Homo-oligomer: A and B are copies of this chain.
């Protein structure tokens, strides 16, 4: 699902773009480099802005069910807002539609968009329609969050416990088109705990945990036997590198983690969370304790590139 070398190139490209756009305005709380942007909003809340583009033959096949593509396009942006601790509110949809079968394709696409928007109480307030050889859909979503509940990637601390909100890997078999953005889970977390960092797993645990570590200037030690795998996924590599899980990856302080375990014991299981490791300042990047007790470096794009180090 994810071409890792391409992803790394993309990261460098984003860094160069971010270098151009140094923020000057004090109303901007978070700019390029997190799951979404955050600015001061109405009634002492912050606004969250995010955009996600899906392109035919890059993100989905020409023969794909366009209703699912529409659902996914909206869900990906909602997932970004959840990763900041926020609630989705509004969306704008820009589309490039092929000339052939435009009514059928637009009908299916917007049926999917509508179903996802309704599920999460989002108002679709605008957008732009265009002709295009290949189907392109770009969703801009606007969310809101209380200033004390916004969660960044860059604030994980040594000693924090690391969690994910669901089993990982094999998303390309279908989940990547039909996942439920973890808004409920995110809101439960930010209302009850001081979540020290959070990201949504779009590019795989390997890459996204490295993102938290890089942004926070820390390391992460995870345990192979604790990584939850999706049904039908047997290899740890798949859980680490397949991508598009759209689960939450987050950290809690040791004290909050104890309260969290206690609270989860008492709750009926409407949400699932898995503790997979700890944040540390003993090293940078991500290391995994394997089932046979060895320690492996987990890079953005697999184990192999780092075995020599």
Q: Which residues of B contact A131 (CB under 8 A)?
A: 6, 55, 58
Q: Are B32's CB and A124's CB within 8 A?
A: yes
The bracket for how many chain A residues form the interface is 35 or more
A123–B24 CB distance below 8 A:
yes
Q: Are A23 and B53 in contact (CB under 8 A)?
A: no
Question: Which residues of A, 26-42, contact B by the 8 Å Cβ criterion?
Answer: 27-28, 30-32, 36-37, 39-42
Q: How long is the Cα–Cα vector from A92 to B37 in the complex, in angstroms?
A: 9
Question: Inside 8 A of A132's CB, which chain B residues have their CB?
Answer: 55, 58, 134, 136
Q: Please determine whether B92 and A126 come into contact, CB atoms closer than 8 angstroms.
A: no
Interface residue stretch chosen among A10-18, A211-219, A296-304:
A10-18
The smallest C-beta distance from A53 to any residue of chain B, in angstroms, reads 4
| Contact pick for A53, options B30, B43, B130, CB 8 Å | B130
Interface string of A124-147 (1 = CB under 8 A from B): 111111111110101010100000
* B94→A52 contact, CB < 8 A: yes
Q: How distant is the Cα of A246 from the Cα of B203 in the complex, in angstroms?
A: 40
Q: Is A75 part of the contact surface with B, judged by Cβ < 8 Å? A: no
Once the chains bind, are A21 and B114 in contact (CB under 8 Å)?
yes
A178 at interface, CB cutoff 8 A? no
Q: In whole Å, how far is A42's beta carbon from the nearest beta carbon of chain B?
A: 4
Question: Which residues from chain B contact A140 at a C-beta distance below 8 Å?
Answer: 49, 51, 92, 94, 140
User: Given contacts A10-B129, A142-B49, is CB(A58)–CB(B96) below 8 Å?
Assistant: yes
